[in-house]
Amino acid sequence: MKILLTGANGYIGKRLLPILVRMGYTVVCCVRERRRFQLEDELLSQVEIIEVDFLKKETLDRIPDDLDGAYYLVHSMAAGTENFKDLEKQSALNFRDRLNNTKARHLVYLGGITNAQELSQHLASRKTVEDILAHGNYNFTAIRAGIILGSGSASFEIIRDLVEKLPFMIAPRWLNTPSQPIGIRNVIQVLSLSLFNEKTFNQDFDIGGPEILTYKEMLLRFARIRRLRRLIITIPLMTPRLSSFWLYFVTSTSYPLAVNLVNSMRVPVICRNNDISKLLGIELIDYDEAIRMAFERIQQSEVVSSWIDSHVSSGFNGSLSNFIKVPEYGCYKDVKWRKLADPDLAMLKIWSIGGVQGWYYANWLWRIRGFLDKIVGGVGLRRGRTNPEKINAGDALDFWRVILADKEKRRLLLFAEMKLPGEAWLEFSIDNENILRQTATFRPRGVFGRLYWYVILPFHFFIFNGMIDHLSDST
């Protein structure tokens, strides 16, 4: 049977895909940009990939007519604090209209728990999407989840940032809001086993773990698992705006996402029932076990997907193809080169750059630059990287976005996502004569952009010389 998997390059989609393939389905992966959808060769040979932008109806014609079922895993939560509701609504309408003209007989949708009387904009938007998709010419199943815990999930990483960086917290009162977190393994089980199960047709189900916990309890239990002593005091004085800034500066989240998260965290997210776990024969994982399983994945460098690699982590809405050709005219460049005695070692270093490894030279200056970026509303350095060794196009790398990662051609191209008065690229390449070239390109915007370049030029000389020296060192 043929299945359409929308959001295939998202946090949930990447984890659901191999399960569906193992179940014997022919999977059509629906992504916005093919270039940033990287799969292992074994999996790549078993799927079909199509590029679709749900806001452009003409691209939906690429969806095959002979579908048997589909998953809708698309959202625009961090597209902006104002217009994401309109984007989600239009995307859902366009998708429903196209799916109505296929042979699909079942659609499974992953949304959010919406049982509170007053909903945040995010949760209200999720419910609107559900209502739109429910009125199609197919059987429909809505799976409503609360906080999802797993390696690389936004909730897990935010909790981790707060606990591991702050021994003492004066926190907003929404930390006392109750929630029912669920492990990512259970979410994937529910999604995969619901498809074509007639007992789930034309129904909606809440899914959560076996425990109801406040956010404060989750933070303290996380600290206990990590053997950390933490003190948390909640106060009623923090407005949603202040809470958003607090979350933004302490964690790796972007500000638009922080706003939507804070608004959602003020709303109790409790399941009406958890019957679907019994219906599908699923054993629920408790909070502590979900956290331990997440760290096992991290320690083994087996994080399949992470929210930091999605555009949601930075508000990056462009196409990678728009930045893959580095401009030549109207730009400032800093080009350095070294002859390599050990090109393989240099490649290993390049592919390990950023994150915990750092940038090989003057990391304290990189951290200062990341802090300054946070102050002006940028992403800062806290996103790190998902895998310490692998890099794919579309990945987030500290405050850069990977535009091209080609090991065969020995080239890595990064595009800056920090706040700048212009656009910036950083490229590493090794030619056939084993010459390493490190090129920083800056296309200024206006007079201030030109002044910015000359102000930071002395720092570039210091940092970039040190970096290429360490990359080329064979000792």
pLDDT tens-place string over residues 184-232 = 999 999 999 999 999 999 999 999 999 999 999 999 999 999 999 999 9
Q: What pLDDT does 218 receive?
A: 93
Let me know if 217 is exposed, middle or buried by CB neighbors in 10 A (0-12, 13-18, 19+). middle
Helix (H) or strand (E) holding 69: strand 69-72
Q: Say how many residues make up the chain.
A: 475
Rounded Cα–Cα distance for residues 203 and 143 (Å)? 9
With contact defined as beta carbons under 8 Å apart, do 286 and 213 qualify?
no
**Cα three-residue angle 311-2-21, rounded to 5 degrees:** 65
Residue 452: phi, psi to the nearest 5?
-60, -45
Nearest to 453 by CA among 465, 444, 440, 461: 444
What is the pairing mode between strands 422-430 and 411-416? antiparallel
Task: Name the amino acid, one letter, at 420.
Answer: L
Ranges of the chain with pLDDT below 50: 78-81
With contact defined as beta carbons under 8 Å apart, do 177 and 267 qualify?
yes
Helix (H) or strand (E) holding 335: strand 332-339
CA distances from 448 to 372, 416, 443, 452, 453 (A): 17, 18, 12, 6, 9
Q: In 340-421, which ranges are E strands?
A: 396-397, 400-406, 411-416
Rounded Cα–Cα distance for residues 293 and 289 (Å)? 6
Let me know if 33 is exposed, middle or buried by CB neighbors in 10 A (0-12, 13-18, 19+). middle
Q: What pLDDT does 76 receive?
A: 61
Query: DSSP code of 183?
Result: E
* Residue indicated by tokens 């730009």: 331
Number of H helices and number of E strands within the chain?
14, 19
Rounded Cα–Cα distance for residues 12 and 253 (Å)? 18
- Structure tokens of 61? 């014609």
Nearest to 192 by CA among 74, 106, 292: 106
Looking at the DSSP bridge assignments, the partners of residue 2 are 26
